[in-house]
Structure 1
Amino acid sequence: MDRRSFIRGAGVAGAGAVASSLAAPAVAQGNITWRMVTTWPKNFPGLGVGAQRLADRITAASGGRLTVQVYSAGELVPPLQSLDAVIDGSAEMSHGAAYYWQNKSPALAFFTGVPYGMTTPELTAWMRYMGGQEIWDEIYDQFGVQGFLSGNTGTQTGGWFRDELTSLDDVKGVRFRTPGLGGRVWEKLGATVTNMAAGEIFQALQSGTLDAAEFVGPYNDLALGFHQVAKNYYMPSFVESGLATELVVDKKKYQELPED
């Protein structure tokens, strides 16, 4: 399938432009300050810390000429509105996962991960050497942004469940936090699926709003405390073989940066 057919089949939605009420990024004496909004809680192990590390590296590599200020989930915009913040100009950059935005285009799920999809090295190879980046660029061009791979969690775990799963019948009616096309698979199995940001999941499990949740794996999930509420943990995930994170940048502002 050629890339134009791929994109047409994905049903790419249009994005409405919303005027930003926030101040423009600071530009003084050749120095630029950009805002990076993230979907992760502040200082969150791995993902949140990784976003800050990336911002620090960009700042250092530019000798401070391009300073990146990181805003964790909810500090500037709600976590699952991070991409919209870049599209409407409220921020210059976002750090998250492309499958969070599959309501804009189902094709975006392929740039995080899909059921029985590519492993970490396979996804990276597709993006760098086999045309994946070009397809991604064409999708994101419609929203005025540029996407970059910013890391990968590897194979994730299936999730935490209050009740033991002994058959497919046990899945029916389970209120489950899981995003992407994998969430659609769980829906086909009978679960009631929702997506929510990392920092909101524990409270939903504790209150009984959710019966189950999956996020990444033991390192991240321990920090979020899921084990305190749900005692049945299943691995590996059949819907997330190698999950990539993304850095998204306002494309016009990116192209206006000095060559160096």
Structure 2
Amino acid sequence: MQRSPFAGPAARAWIERARGTAFTSRAEAALRAVAELSEEDAEDLLEASLDIWAGSRAALAGEGIGLLDGGLTEPPSRQWPADPMDAFRDTGIKVVTLDDLDVSEGIDTYHLAENYGIFPGQTRTREGRPMPMITLYPETDGAGIEDLERRTEWEHWGLYGMPDTDPSWRLRARIADRALAGLVHVGPDGADAIEMWRAAESVSMPEDWWALLDQLQHVLVVGPVKEPDQRALQAAGDAGELLAVVVRVEFH
């Protein structure tokens, strides 16, 4: 395994330790060492892995990345970013993700993924009835439409009509303080598989908006926008850079 020139000391040390251990008796110890890294060092190791992957892809191409002659004739309806770890798998290196490790004790994996903020709004159903909505905006550098396309199966949305309802997505809300708590995707086993947004503090929603949420018990989720305001929402919709889904509301 080559080293990234931008990796920090902890990442470089782990890469040296893991070098040549694939499918050997030393692989398990190297993998356990990942779980022992601090959150900052784990993020540094991930960045180094991405650097290595990018370098290997460029080497396979034999030249720098450029535009194809003639350009795109029409925008793709859906982007499916490649898994950066595929480069390691292709060379026979066993890849272990956080899901493969027992990190449930003491590690909050929410902050290992991209995070979003939200702001409330209102739209209308196909029948013209009012419907509550929330809009996502990035709070970390890697958050954006490519991240949402990778982590969800939400539809492209152009500010008109209504996307399908996905019952696996839930917006959690607290009745006691009339506040939203989180946006999660629930897996087949009933456990949270993806935590897209978590409230950093309790903020009571406007009374009329909450009443609409309580009445319909569903909400339109749309994003991402660059900034938390309606003008940014309109601009993203005009540019074809919005994904959307209708989700259930769980009251607690």
Which structure's residues are more often strand, by fraction?
A: 2
TM-score if structure 2 supplies the norm length? 0.27
Larger relative contact order (CA 8 Å, sep ≥ 6): 1
Over alpha carbons, which structure has the higher Rg? 2
TM-score, normalising length from structure 1?
0.27
